[in-house]
Structure 1
Amino acid sequence: MNEDQRSLLLSSSSRFPLPQGVRLSYGTAGFRADAALLESTVYRVGILAALRSLKMDGSVIGVMLTASHNRVSDNGVKIADPSGGMLSQSWEPFADALANAPTSQHLLQLITKFVEKENIPLEGVRRAEIMLGRDTRPSGESLLEAAKQGISSILGAVAIDMGIVTTPQLHWMVRARNKGIKASELDYFEQLSSSFRCLVGLIPSGSKISEVDEKLVVDGANGVGGEKLEVLRKVLDGMVVEIRNSGKDGGVLNEGVGADCVQKEKFAPSGFGSQDVGLRCASLDGDADRLVYFSVPSKSCNKIDLVDGDKILSLFAIFIKEQLNTLSKEGSENTSSSYHARLGVVQTAYANGASIDYLKMLGLEVVFTPTGVKYLHEKAAEYDIGIYFEANGHGTIIFSESFLCWLEARYQELSSVSKGSEQQKAALRLLAVSKLINQAVGDALSGLLLVEAILQHMGWSIQRWSELYKDLPSRQLKVKVVDRTAVITANAETVVVRPLGFQEAINAETAKHPRGRSFIRPSGTEDVIRVYAEASTQEAADSLANSVARLVDQFLGFGSSQK
């Protein structure tokens, strides 16, 4: 590192001192905290992003300012790697150290050592390029400036301000730019809309949903998703969608609205009620990377019938399996045309047991990972087609490059010899899905369009979709402990390895309840142990959760359970 670079880092970092008593950790969601505490962290993430770009041969890196479903006074910052996915886990310890360096001198020493260790070329022909995005939080503008200052403190690094965007849009833009594809917001909308039109144009005759069900009502969480859905609706003229809680009417971001609120509380969001009985409704979260559907069953209460991420996954899996089955019927005797695509469904232990049973009943390969999108995404990428979703509505579909290459060639072959055949249509549908879905990250807007296209294809109302299976009643608790690291788990967090005897005690309690299932896992951010339990009745699920919470207290010495 030359003297000019050292001087620039010292000078710029002195303007962003670390607040006293603040210590942050980089997780799946990046750094999150009260917005007033984040300027120094966001400045340092700007530095991190520039170094990451240089390390990756000048590939474009993304920096997104958002706190997703958190309250409006919070904010956060996270990095999108060249693939459009999350920051490599190997860089997370450096991110933590960078964010918590107490002085400018400590920061400089840390960067100098890391640059040497990683062999990052600070001097040369490469130019670091970072795309910046933010959601609608009032704090976004000032934090954006801090990120720009951090980026510009690395000589030759360039910040590209993409403005107010959804988190998935920024991830999509980073991925597209590094693939050599046009990557503006307009390009994003064009790809989604053209792929959606293609799928709708291939709907079998007679499969249209009844007139009563044509209308879709969407809760925009008073965030950026509602604003962008307004734009998308104009591009897709003819799509019947009503957008509420778009943020234009003075509603507060994520307050009584949004996918997180709807999924956890199972109540209709603000602005929804008796006038919506029977309608197909959907809810986005604050930065539009989560999506859940719901319907209001009765005028007499505010409760809903929730269609969560597990059922979105099931819908996608049914449709994709149907297309693969159709493709396999043609040319099975012609080995050059055959491709045995491996379809995998990836879930966490928090997936409802009824969804797991249903997917296995369909003959699908179902695998589990520890909690966290980074684990789900990584596992899904091992398949030709990997589908993952969390119950909270965050998920996507990943297509392997080798499968897409074969699929494109197969489509061209079928177009020349049997144009209009069911096999050709199946190939085209899968190609359209690969372009409609955001393969970089969960995306509420692209997911919503895919759900709408598939429901029309199947001729299903939301009630028919909801009845695929009935969720088992469940209960989640968290128990305060002195040291959460005393618990060690295995098998995707479903089995306790330490303390010894703990898993056997959980098994004994679980065996007392029909269809009982329970597991515990240490929180990643606070000294609590999270307890999950499900059983055939709500009373039994509550009883099992409370029994396991008492075991946490018994094995770890002190505890206090909370819903």
Structure 2
Amino acid sequence: MAYDINEDEFKAILKAAEDWPRADTLADFSYGTAGFRMRADLLDYVVFTVGLVASLRSRKCAGNAIGVMITASHNPAEDNGVKIVDPMGEMLMSDWEPYAKFMANARTPEQLRNCFMHIINTAQVHDHNARKVIFARDTRPSGARLVRALKAALEATNTEYVDYGILTTPQLHYLVKATNTVKMDKPYGEVSEEGYYKKLSKAFSEAINHATRPPSTPVTVDCANGVGAPKMKKLIEHLPEGALDIQIVNDRIESPEDLNNHCGADFVKTSQRVPQSFTGKAFDRWCSLDGDADRIIYYFVEEGKVFRLLDGDRIATLAAAFIGELVRKAGLDEVITIAIVQTAYANGASTKYVEQNLKLKVEFTNTGVKHLHHVAAMKDIGVYFEANGHGTVLFSERAVKAMRKHQPQSTAQMEALETLRALTDLINQTVGDALSDFLLVETILAHKEWTVKEWLATYTDLPNKLAKCLVTDRSAYTSVPGTAEQRLATPARVQPKIDEIVSKYRDGRCFVRASGTEDAVRVYGEAAEVYDTEDLVAKVCDFIGSYGGKSP
């Protein structure tokens, strides 16, 4: 069945597009896990086309609100990006990613019209359906201009919209789901930024109610000089008095050049050192958010300023262990199962700890949050965190129903059940959320009466290294399906050589996967000793260089 284009609407689109011309570049734009991300001066037309796609997506979803977030997360301030959020707060359905790409790469009015028609017909979009888009941006100076481009597209397509101003990315995801569930029996939350804080603070109060006492030491939060700073301050205003002693650093949102500059989750994780403004003493608890506050990692220094990282793997194992204990204490362990979902980049020691100590199942998936989220959503309780600190815990409807119906047989069961129920509201069910995950970690540490020293002692990370090798053709490097990108299918000679090299090292592990953005492959290696890890990765890189690489 063919669907006719509304010519009046398209005339309005073309007229509006005149004010937002495509950047003078021959490069094609790609829509990935982070949506579109590039230099901000290239984004005007791209954001305009994203507005068109979001309007069509809302019509396809029976008038449900679609979200658009303008952010570049951990990138420097001169970059920006834009991504689409689906009705239940999840990332854009993968089948629609090519539509966003096609539209952004239309170079003439005729191509734009053809792309618009292609989406209408291929996705079977009914023009008469209602359409609504809600959006927000982070603190980057370019955001205000890009919002105007987005509004132009929405107004041209007669799309109802709500501009929520400056928010964290997870807050926008929350608002999308809250908007689309407001008339349901169990709404996700109040449709406002204030509602987000109310939901988290109420759940946090309930989650720590049965803890022996709140943490006795303060926690310092590095906000990357980004949007997380003002939003963390607002969250603190809603938390119960005396529950947490939170100190905030790197909150200079009025200085764009400071955004993610020598601070934030990505800097700390990548450079393996403390951020700018670090003043911690030995064993002080610190954490860092990224620029749009969807990632968080913890860390501290030991005596002698030895840096210790508590990254996404550590948060995942902490959460899974605690939730597993609650499920057992509540008497639900024969009803609800828990799984941890990891990528190949998870430290091998964390995987061994989960399987051997926690006795939980680990599932591996391809790199990328959307893959982790998809697998976790199929479990009763699915825990996923990338090593970079992006992750969450998903509770299935089946698990929530079991918690709701369960009748505790003792005071201990009742307390565990009440804490477990509170976690279903405390943990953001739509996307990784640094503020929500922060409260989760602090809740667990309070219950366990742990400092960072006890948390670190749960297992010892294997030394690891990530390297980049330039190659003449990254498309030649393909992974064997079903191996979570841990084994290469092509070039045929490479995987056997990697296996041969790895076999010479105790606890050795190494995999190679193609970069998504440049002619290079990423080489990840682990071994029992630091010098073995360095040697393993160097040997694999040398072989790839001799086989099909190119000099940097």
2:298 is matched with which residue? Answer: 293
Query: Pick from 245, 261, 265: which aligns with 2:267?
Result: 261
1:342 and 2:337 are equivalent in the alignment? yes
Determine if contact 2:253/2:259 at 8 Å carries over to the other structure: no
Deviations 1:122-147 (A, max 9, x none): 1x2x3211111100001110101111
Query: Contact 1:346 / 1:387 at 8 angstroms: preserved in 2?
Result: yes
Are residues 18 and 208 of structure 1, via their aligned partners in 2, closer, same or farther at CA, if it must alter by over 3 Å? closer
Contact 2:525 2:536 in 1 (8 A): yes
Counterpart check, 1:229 vs 2:232: yes
Which residue of structure 2 aligns with residue 326 of structure 1?
A: 329
Cα distance in structure 1, aligned partners of 2:472 and 2:63:
45
The question of whether the paired residues in 2 share the 8 Å contact of 1:168 and 1:289 is answered with: yes
Contact 1:277–1:296 (CA under 8 A) maintained in structure 2: yes
Matched, 1:312 2:320: no
Per the alignment, residue 173 of structure 1 pairs with 175
Q: Say yes or no: does 1:464 pair with 2:464.
A: no
**Paired letter, 1:176:** A
Match of 2:249 in 1: 244
**Range with greater deviation from structure 2 (450-459 or 14-23):** 14-23
Deviation, 1:118, is 1.6
**Contact 1:476/1:532 (CA < 8 Å) preserved in 2?**
yes
2:187 aligned with 1:187: no
- The alignment partner of 2:453 has SS state of helix
Q: Name the counterpart of 1:535.
A: 527
Per the alignment, residue 395 of structure 2 pairs with 399
Cα distance in 1, alignment partners of residues 69 and 109 from structure 2: 24
Would you say 1:445 and 2:425 are equivalent positions? no
Deviation of 1:339 after TM superposition, in Å, equals 5.4
- AA paired with 2:261? E
Task: For 1:339 and 1:464, locate their aligned partners in 2 and report how far apart those are by CA, in whole Å.
Answer: 29
Q: Give % identity.
A: 41
Amino acid at match of 1:220: C
Give the partner amino acid of 1:559. Answer: K
Q: Tell me whether 1:479 sits opposite 2:507 in the alignment.
A: no
Q: 1:208 offset after TM fit, Å?
A: 5.2
Task: Report the TM-score, using the length of structure 2 for normalisation.
Answer: 0.94
SS at match of 2:330: helix
Q: Deviations over 1:158-196 (max 9, x none)?
A: 121011000000011111211223221100000000000
SS at match of 2:535: helix
Q: Which amino acid letter does the alignment assign opposite residue 187 of structure 1?
A: G
Is this contact kept in 1: 2:70–2:138, CA < 8 A?
Answer: yes
Letter in structure 1 aligned against 2:307: I
Which of 376, 382, 391 is the matching residue for 2:378? 382
Candidates 3, 6, 12, aligned match of 2:16: 12
The amino acid across from 1:263 in the alignment is: K
Deviations 1:82-131 (Å, cap 9, x if unpaired)?
A: 11011011111111111111112210111012202222111x2x321111
Q: Distance in 2 between matches of 1:304 and 1:183?
A: 41
Match of 1:280 in 2: 285
2:208, 2:419 within 8 Å by CA — same for their partners in 1? no
C-alpha separation in 2, matches of 1:72 and 1:3: 39
Is residue 506 from structure 1 mapped to residue 512 from structure 2 by the alignment?
A: no
Residue of structure 2 equivalent to 1:357: 352
Change (3 A) 1:539 1:560: farther
Residues of 2 paired with 1:494 and 1:118: CA distance?
34
Q: Is the aligned partner of 1:152 residue 2:159? A: no
Match of 1:28 among 16, 26, 33: 33
Q: What does residue range 102-121 of structure 1 map to in structure 2 within 5 Å?
A: 102-121=107-126
Partners of 1:259 and 1:393 within 8 A in 2: yes
Q: Paired residue for 2:478?
A: 488
Number of equivalences: 535
Question: Please, which runs of 5 or more residues in structure 1 have no aligned partner?
Answer: 330-337
* TM-aligned CA deviation for residue 456 of structure 1: 0.5
Contact kept in structure 2, 1:14 and 1:104, CA below 8 Å: no
SS at match of 2:8: helix
Match of 2:138 among 135, 139, 151: 135
Offset of 1:517 from its aligned partner?
0.4
Q: Secondary structure at the match of 2:465?
A: strand
| Cα distance between partner residues in 1 of 2:218 and 2:448 | 16
Does 1:56 find its partner at 2:61? yes
Amino acid at match of 1:73: E
**Local SS of the residue matching 2:302:** coil
Q: Is contact 2:511–2:523 with CA below 8 Å preserved after alignment?
A: yes
SS in 1 for 2:221: strand
Conservation of the 8 A alpha-carbon contact between 1:552 and 1:559 = no
How many Å apart are 1:466 and its aligned residue? 1.2
Contact 1:18 1:103 in 2 (8 A): no
Kindly provide the amino acid, as one letter, of the partner of residue 558 in structure 1: G
Q: What is the distance in 2 between the residues matched to 1:560 and 1:83?
A: 46
Amino acid at match of 2:455: W
Which among 402, 408, 419 is matched to residue 429 of structure 1?
Answer: 419
Q: CA deviation at 1:249?
A: 7.4
Q: CA deviation at 1:554?
A: 3.2
Question: Is the Cα contact below 8 Å between 1:193 and 1:235 reproduced in 2?
Answer: yes
CA distance in 2 between counterparts of 1:35 and 1:245 reads 23
Look up the SS of the partner of 1:370 in the other structure. coil
Higher mean alpha-carbon deviation, 512-521 vs 492-501, is at 492-501
Other structure's SS at 1:453 match: helix
Distance 1:218 1:5 in 2: 48
In the superposition, relative to structure 1, how do residues 148 and 248 fare at CA in structure 2: closer, same or farther (>3 Å)? closer
Question: Counterpart of 1:333?
Answer: none
1: distance between equivalents of 2:489 and 2:375? 23
Report the 3-state secondary structure (helix = DSSP H, G, I; strand = E; otherwise coil) of the residue aligned with 2:81: strand
Q: TM-score, normalised by structure 1?
A: 0.93
Give secondary structure in 2 for the equivalent of 1:547.
helix
1:397 CA drift (Å): 0.5
Unaligned runs of 5+ in 2: none
Cα separation, 1, equivalents of 2:165 and 2:254: 21
